[in-house]
Structure 1
Amino acid sequence: MKILLIHTFYSPDMVGGAEVVVQSLAEGLMERGIDVAILTTTDKPGLHQDEVNGVRVWRAGLRNLYWHKYNQRPGMVQRRLWHLLDIYNPLMAQMVKKVVLFEKPTVASVHNLPGFSIATWSALKDAGVPIVQVLHDHYLLCPAGTMYRNDKNCISQCSSCMIMRTPHKAMSQSISGVVGVSNYILNRHLEAGYFSGVSNRQVIYNTRTAQELCLTGKIKESDGNRPLRFGFIGAINSVKGIELLLHTYIKNPFHDTELLVAGVGNSEYSDKLKLSATGHAVRFLGRVKPADFYPLVDVVVVPSLWNEPLGTVIMEAMIFGKAVIASNTGGTPEMVVDGENGLLFNPDNPSGLLDAMARLYASPDLRERLAEGADRCRALFMDRAHFLDEHISIYMDAEHYG
């Protein structure tokens, strides 16, 4: 078996949780003795090869208007043209064909496709390579990947998304296998008519390992002599609910507490948030490693506004034994059981987040009980052996049945 993993970004070009998971998958497969190669995008023209932790990495210069990793947001006209070109980009298909010709994979594990487009599927099918599509987001349903528009989650595809994603829906029927990182994201696609012709469907939850999180021993306990700390870690952008969290915390100050915000994003947007928090007990830490962040906080807040398929931060917080407050959107209810290992709130209810924060602020016993519940769940999200077994199983099925 030889696997070609295709994903928009790869180390060191890390953007979010999906990049972490794909790297973990690649290195885990390699440790199992499986030949693995990565195909990803870069801002450098042409096709380049390097190596990351023993894994071969092909980097294809993105042939579109701009490389979409940059934090500076292009203008609306550029963005719309970019997405039109990304419906089906034959120039990127040529890159895929070159790598396939060299690597000769027996299965392609396709992850996030922005930049590559579904022309990747065509290139692989033309080469006779079975495809397993892994769903990390809503890209196949929505060019933005979030199904979130005008400050609301989309109940169904809007007319423009439906038109721009007609080829995706049609071509999805001939994929060899499909994996959802949560029941939510897999069912969302199936309900929209995607992958209806695909019988090989699975849900495989993402995992993190102690090594990846730099957990070398007992988890460091929070310092009980300092103020109670709420924490946010992740990409600094609007759909992550960071404005909701800041507004809730600033307008309803909890005495003797702090809010720590870790992560990076668009510099203009980040500067606006920092200005709004001036004079309050809010600290922006920038990019921080999970092992350095979680011991600093007592409660982790994940206020996502969009239907996040499977929040990596929730997984990490549980592994570190932290009480979690999270919005009840997307795949989050598959991870957080309200009152057992965290508290859920409806982001459409203005007082929902405040009520949850107030409960944990007022009750050390509740914080401790939820933290213990989170600690009991950590094994589910650290079972890398099961995670690898499940992926290898669906690869074998795809390889055998095509």
Structure 2
Amino acid sequence: MTDTIKVAHIIESLGRGGAERVLVTNLAHIDQRRFENHVIYLFDGEDFLPDLEALGIQSYSLGMRDFYDWRGFWRLRRTLKTIAPDIVHTVLQKADIYGRVAAASAGLRPILSTLHECPYNPEVFIDNPALNRFKYGVFKRLDRSSARWCSDGFLVASKNTQNTLRQYFGVNDSRVRLLYNSIDLDRFDGGGEAEVDRIKRELGITKDDVVLLNIARLAPQKGQRYLIQAMVDVCRALPNAKLIIRGEGPLRSDLNALVHSLGLEGKVLVPNQYGSPEEVIALLRLCDLFVFPSLYEGFGVVLAEAMALGKPCIASNTGPIPEVVQDGGSGVLVEPMDPGALARAILGLVADPAAMRAMGRAGRKIVEQTFDILQTVKQLEAIYEEFAVRAAEH
């Protein structure tokens, strides 16, 4: 196919999240001569907007207040008809629902949806009393119905998500393409010492400290409270251990209260700064061990980022995480919600520096072979061409 393929990407926001970062990374590497990209976002959150502007990609804000701002549907439909894309590609649940229905009602095909995770695992209710079960049920029915009747294809970020897509949506595998999330390895090679030194100085990190790091949204799903509880045993056996938890979210005050109640002030740090891409990479550089205790997960792009920097990882044995972190190879997997298992894994690795170095090397190799953007963007381009050709033939 020689003509330029016009793609309209619909996402919930351009805030600093994993799915948003993957989208921008893909767009930074896709062949701009063959693909004309437009990005539509439903809600506020524009951290990645400068990145799109630097790439010369047109973006459209719908300015929706929330999911129930139905005027956004008509704005989205008009915007899609103005763009007149060859492919509509939706990302994240609310954007999936709106995007599929708006595109289908406007007669635009094919419609693709990327699923970084299936949000209907039973684990979503764990430690999450604020979750509105009625709204959850409405989302589930709308998502499943729009997926079955509107979407022509699905891109899944893991084999685990493909399995749950089949289970919860009843989608045939012939409509599904596996496309692992990926990272730009160039961002993780060389430099950054000044940022590392500055953050160490500001946080009071010394050369003798063993630094553990968690980067994730501060939310029940991410399991940080179990990691904080594990630090009681870790600090008892390893007084020079420090844990940095970097993220934004509703649990900041709760996590800080837990740190205080366990007497871990100065040992567990939950800073509200260091959110820029350069600072996140600096945090990954300065840590000795990356810990990711999620209760459930879609992929965990930050795991691949830690591995790109040669950091051994301790992560939950749940969802697609075993597809990213090889237990005993690039890290150690533990069962979710088990502070004791986390503490034992941390102390076991710290006591074996040779194993940590070997895991770091193995992790870097895995990222180079499986999660390098230069490989996955070629797969994405082939998927777009496949569905565009198929649509042109009908």
2:292: which partner in 1? 302
Check 1:339–1:234 CA distance in 2 against 1; reply closer, same or farther (3 A cut): same
- Distance, in Å, in 1 between the alignment partners of 2:340 and 2:259 is 23
Provide Cα deviations, 1:36-95, integer angstroms capped at 9, x if missing partner.
010002349xxx99935311110111143xxxxxxxxxxxxxxxxx6xx3xxx6432212
Q: Residue 229 of structure 2 contacts residue 339 of structure 2 at CA under 8 Å; is this kept in 1?
A: no
Alpha-carbon deviation of 1:332? 0.3
CA distance in 1, matches of 2:259, 2:268: 9
Kept after mapping to 2: 8 A contact 1:177/1:394: no
Counterpart pick for 1:394 among 383, 387, 394 = 383
Are positions 1:111 and 2:88 aligned together?
no
Look up the match of 2:42: 41
- TM-score, normalising length: structure 2: 0.82
The structure-2 alpha-carbon separation of the partners of 1:237 and 1:159, relative to structure 1 and needing over 3 Å to count, comes to: closer
Q: Which residue in the other structure is 2:59 paired with?
A: 57
In 2, are the aligned partners of 1:131 and 1:398 still within 8 Å (CA)? no
Displacement after TM superposition at 1:270 (Å): 5.0
Which structure shows the bigger proportion of residues in helix conformation?
A: 2
Q: Does the CA contact (< 8 Å) of 2:158 and 2:320 recur in 1?
A: yes
The amino acid across from 2:168 in the alignment is: A
Say if 2:311 and 2:363, in contact at 8 Å, map to a contact too: yes
- The alignment covers a number of residue pairs equal to 361
Q: Report the counterpart of residue 284 of structure 1 in structure 2.
A: 270
C-alpha separation in 2, matches of 1:348 and 1:280? 24
Q: How far 1:371 sits from its partner (Å)? A: 1.5
| 1:199-348 superposed matches below 5 A | 199-211=174-186, 213=187, 215-216=189-190, 225-253=207-235, 254-266=238-250, 267-269=252-254, 271-273=256-258, 275-276=260-261, 278-288=264-274, 289-306=279-296, 308-348=297-337
SS of 2:319's equivalent in the other structure is coil
**Hey, what's the Cα distance between the residues in 2 that align with 1:296 and 1:321?**
11
Query: In structure 1, what is the equivalent of residue 6 of structure 2?
Result: 2
CA RMSD of aligned residues (A): 3.1
Q: Secondary structure at the match of 2:170?
A: coil
Which AA in structure 2 matches 1:243?
A: R
- Report the alpha carbon displacement of residue 397 of structure 1 after superposing the two structures with TM: 2.2
1:195 maps to 2:171: yes
Any idea what the Cα deviations from partners look like across 1:86-131, whole Å, max 9, x if unmatched? Answer: xxx64322122121122111001111142x4623212211232311
Show structure 1 runs of 5+ residues with no match: 65-81, 153-157
Q: Which residue of 1 aligns with 2:157?
A: 181
Distance in structure 2 (CA, Å) of the matches to 1:90 and 1:238? 29
- Hey, what does 1:122 align to over in structure 2? 101
2-structure distance, mates of 1:280, 1:182? 38
For structure 2, the residue ranges without an aligned partner over 5 or more in a row are: 198-204
Preserved CA contact (<8 Å) 1:63 1:91: no
Aligned pairs for 1:30-179 (under 5 A) are 31=32, 33-43=34-44, 51-64=53-66, 85=68, 90-114=70-94, 116=95, 118-127=97-106, 128-139=108-119, 141=120, 147-151=123-127, 161=136, 164-174=139-149, 175-179=151-155
Name whichever of 227-236 and 337-346 sits farther off: 227-236
The answer (yes or no) to whether the contact 2:26–2:377 under 8 Å persists in 1 is yes
